[in-house]
A = this chain, B = another copy of it.
Amino acid sequence: MKRIGIADTTFARVDMARYATRALGAAGSGYRIVRRTVPGVKDLPVACRAMFLEDGADLCLALGMPGAAEYDRTCAHEASLGLLFTSVLEAKPIVECFVFEGEADGPAALERLARRRAEEHAANAWSMLFRPDDLRRHAGLGLRQGFPDAGPVRRTR
């Protein structure tokens, strides 16, 4: 039985953890979820480290929704570096799933984007733990999360 840690924030404006949890369930079984909710994206790295150390997580999913301003981009950059540092330190994957408010036009599109991205990153997380060969079969195919796949270069000619 593997453990998947889900870290999310009260700052986000969509309950991405709900969508991620459902998508994990749809992807398969063999895991138990642990969860930590923190205020903002900069609190996610230590929450993931705590889930690795204290809750025995094998992989973490870090869900966040930074704002659209320049300062929010800086915060997201810092959070990303912290997540990278944590995953390397623990030698365990952290799947970062961030949605920037500025990526979508209006609340309905933002909700849809956040939902789809959370679902697709969650499916990736499940594959990383249980079916790494699925990822390998899709190497270089231009997959995207939340937006339509770009596809491989050859097909777009």
Binary CB contact string for chain A from 47 to 88 against chain B (1 if under 8 A, 0 otherwise) = 101100110000000000001000101110111111111111
A152 within 8 A of B: yes
Say which residue of B10, B89, B121 sits within 8 Å of A39 (CB atoms).
B121
Give the contacts of A17-49 with B (CB-CB under 8 A): 17-18, 35-39, 42-43, 45-47, 49
A1 within 8 A of B: no
- Given A42-B84, A45-B87, A93-B43: A35 and B142 within 8 A (CB)? no
A94 within 8 A of B: yes
A4 within 8 A of B: no
- Contact yes or no, B87 A157, CB < 8 A: no
- Contact yes or no, B153 A110, CB < 8 A: yes
For A74, give the chain B residue with the smallest CB separation. B77
- Contact yes or no, B80 A80, CB < 8 A: no
A139 to chain B, nearest CB (A): 4
- Contact yes or no, A15 B139, CB < 8 A: yes
- Contact yes or no, A12 B46, CB < 8 A: no
Chain B residues positioned under 8 Å from A96 (CB to CB): 42
A-B contacts, 30 of them at CB < 8 A, read A8-B140, A10-B135, A10-B138, A10-B139, A11-B142, A11-B143, A12-B139, A12-B142, A13-B140, A13-B151, A15-B141, A17-B139, A18-B140, A35-B136, A36-B132, A37-B132, A37-B135, A38-B93, A38-B135, A39-B95, A39-B128, A45-B87, A46-B91, A75-B80, A78-B81, A78-B84, A85-B85, A110-B153, A111-B154, A114-B153
